[in-house]
A and B are shown apart, each in its own frame.
Chain A
Amino acid sequence: MDIAAVPARSAGFFFALAPRGRAVFFALAAIAACLLFAFPVFWLILTSLRPGTGVYYVHRGTEFTIDNFHEVLSQEIVLRALFNSFMISTLATVLSLGVTATSGYMLSRFKGPIPNAWFSLIYIFRCVPYVAWVLPLYFVTQQLNIFDSYWGLLLPHIAVHICFFSWIMKGFFDGIDPSMEYAAMIDGCSRWGAFWRVAMPAAVPGLTALAILCWLYTWNEFLFALILTAHETPILTVVMAQFVHELGMEWHLMSATAVIALVPALIVTLFGQRYVIRGLRI
């Protein structure tokens, strides 16, 4: 029984192709992937650069203009929405990180009924559909007099972030050796001191990554903004969606607004990509 004498056969047509054929197939697949994901964005940018009349033949016209951007940016609601979205994203990120860091730290460092209860609470609320509490939130924020204001948006966002990011924070702190904190406590630090001065600095790469993700997530968020704001606090994503339903044919303006909304996200992503990758390696 000379088993090894039987030559091994590979299966499938793909691998029957010569190496050159395989490389071509692979290249085609790679190009297809790039096109699929880049094309809509490219098309959007192209549309935003076409004048109002040219939008009807985006793919055939040759005129380019930046008037759309002028027009969109001259609308007060857009400028206010830009500002508000930016402020909300930044504030929500800063506050959420503070609150979820302690929450994640607690889940990481302690065991027992309290952490278990907290973990379950967070998990359940992470699964509850937004709609189930955003609808009544409309009502609650009015009762608390914070409807259609910064706090009315910030606090619900922070609530969501707690559920999403506590896990990830827990993961970061799990990856940091607790012996450093024990050493600090033996050296006279209080538990708070150990947390602030030993654990948090070690978690900075992870925190940076999370801050970037949190900022992007809040910047792109829609449902809360839709329900919890009216005229006082316009938010960019809602303004864009309303344009779609109201402006009907004015796609050149709509795409210009969308491109404007994309730019900060693009900047944050390009700038922060490195930190996200580094931070999430923990």
Chain B
Amino acid sequence: MNEKTRFMLALITPAALVLILFQVVPILTGANASFRDWTLHDPKRTWVGFANYLHVLRDAEFRDIVLPNTFGFMIATVACSLLLGLAIALMLNKRFPGRWLVQSFVLLPLMVAPVIAAIMIRWMFNDQFGVVNAALEGLGVAPISWLTQRWTTFAVILLTDVWLWTPWFALILLAGLQSLPPEPFEAARIDAASAWRTFRYITLPMLRPVMVVCIVIRAIDAFRTFDIVWTISGGGPARATELFSLYAYVEAFQFLNLARGSAAAVIGAIIIIVFALLLYRVLNRFVEVSR
């Protein structure tokens, strides 16, 4: 082993150690546990093969509620934050008086913990004393009991996530917009392109690589959402708004079945890894095209 190789390995040894001990080992332990009968109160640890996996996959809760919830949430939050973030980025790309003020406000959510955002918005949508219902009453509309029905709870969760992540999109898209070369836009002015045509045929396609990266990163993270769902609804009402990470947590720490929780977690991990690899390929293709 030559000196260069030794140096390379030395550089990553501490990181590799931490990674192995605190990611590889737990994942393997979890995978191992998923194949055994392992409840927290009675860890028999006998091998049961794929019994846990089958149980999860056959669980109506998982199939009919958790998976659709998770994918639906992922698609909805990414789409909304992207559109809203793009609109804000376009707005902030122009100079106007007070821009720094708008920019500061828009970037507020970036420093707020998801848990705090969830608390804030849950309070706003409180059915008796929340400001949203008070406003509705003021407009003559009957107050809605937000957190007792599935779809309204979902709407609140979605709103929280969009509130949290739109500024992230806006920031990155703004940086992308500002890095676009000015000449094609000048050529478009000479080519009589209207503002809309310029946006659709020039701005948007040139922003595509940045947008794709954002979408991939955010989609992967949205899949794993836990904090805000836990804080707003705890997965309720009656487990109707559970996302996949909550499902695993509930199995492990409420039903005290570590094995089933791990099985659920592994299934989710596989889904997301496959998804991530596919998206990575798509991403690479886009980055090629746009040199």
B290 contacts partner chain A, Cβ-Cβ < 8 Å? no
Name the contact of B265 in the complex, choosing from A8, A118, A129 (C-beta under 8 A): A129
Q: Which residues of B contact A12 (CB under 8 A)?
A: 194-196
Complex contact A131–B265 (CB within 8 A)? yes
Name the contact of A158 in the complex, choosing from B18, B29, B106, B272 (C-beta under 8 A): B18
A251 CA to B3 CA in the complex, in Å?
61
A274 contacts partner chain B, Cβ-Cβ < 8 Å? no
A82 CA to B253 CA in the complex, in Å?
26
**Number of contact residues on B: which range applies?**
35 or more
Smallest beta-carbon distance A214→chain B, Å: 13
Name the contact of B22 in the complex, choosing from A156, A195, A220, A265 (C-beta under 8 A): A156
**Number of contact residues on A: which range applies?**
35 or more
- Given A115-B8, A237-B115, also A135-B96 (CB < 8 A): no
- Given A30-B98, A57-B129, A222-B227, also A102-B105 (CB < 8 A): no
Complex contact A244–B122 (CB within 8 A)? yes
A188 contacts partner chain B, Cβ-Cβ < 8 Å? no
A47 CA to B116 CA in the complex, in Å?
14
Q: Which residues of B contact A100 (CB under 8 A)?
A: 15
B78 contacts partner chain A, Cβ-Cβ < 8 Å? no
Complex contact A135–B258 (CB within 8 A)? yes
B83 contacts partner chain A, Cβ-Cβ < 8 Å? no
A168 contacts partner chain B, Cβ-Cβ < 8 Å? no
- Given A125-B19, A245-B234, also A220-B195 (CB < 8 A): no
B68 contacts partner chain A, Cβ-Cβ < 8 Å? no
A33 contacts partner chain B, Cβ-Cβ < 8 Å? yes
- Given A106-B12, A159-B22, also A129-B27 (CB < 8 A): no
B14 contacts partner chain A, Cβ-Cβ < 8 Å? yes
Tally A-B pairs: CB < 8 A.
254
Interface residues of B in 31-55 (CB under 8 A from A): 33
Complex contact A240–B102 (CB within 8 A)? no
A10 contacts partner chain B, Cβ-Cβ < 8 Å? yes
Complex contact A33–B106 (CB within 8 A)? yes
A69 CA to B223 CA in the complex, in Å?
36
Complex contact A9–B194 (CB within 8 A)? yes
A269 contacts partner chain B, Cβ-Cβ < 8 Å? yes
B234, closest chain A residue (CB):
A245
Complex contact A41–B108 (CB within 8 A)? yes
Interface residues of B in 242-288 (CB under 8 A from A): 244-245, 248-249, 252-253, 258, 261-262, 265-266, 268-269, 272-273, 276, 280
Interface residues of A in 1-60 (CB under 8 A from B): 8-12, 14-15, 26, 29-30, 33-34, 36-38, 40-41, 43-44, 47, 55-59
Q: Taking beta carbons and an 8 Å cutoff, which residues of B are in contact with A?
A: 3-5, 7-9, 11-12, 14-16, 18-19, 21-23, 25-27, 29-30, 33, 87-88, 91, 96, 98, 101-102, 105-106, 108-124, 126, 128-129, 131, 134, 163, 166-167, 192, 194-197, 220, 223-224, 226-227, 230-231, 234, 244-245, 248-249, 252-253, 258, 261-262, 265-266, 268-269, 272-273, 276, 280
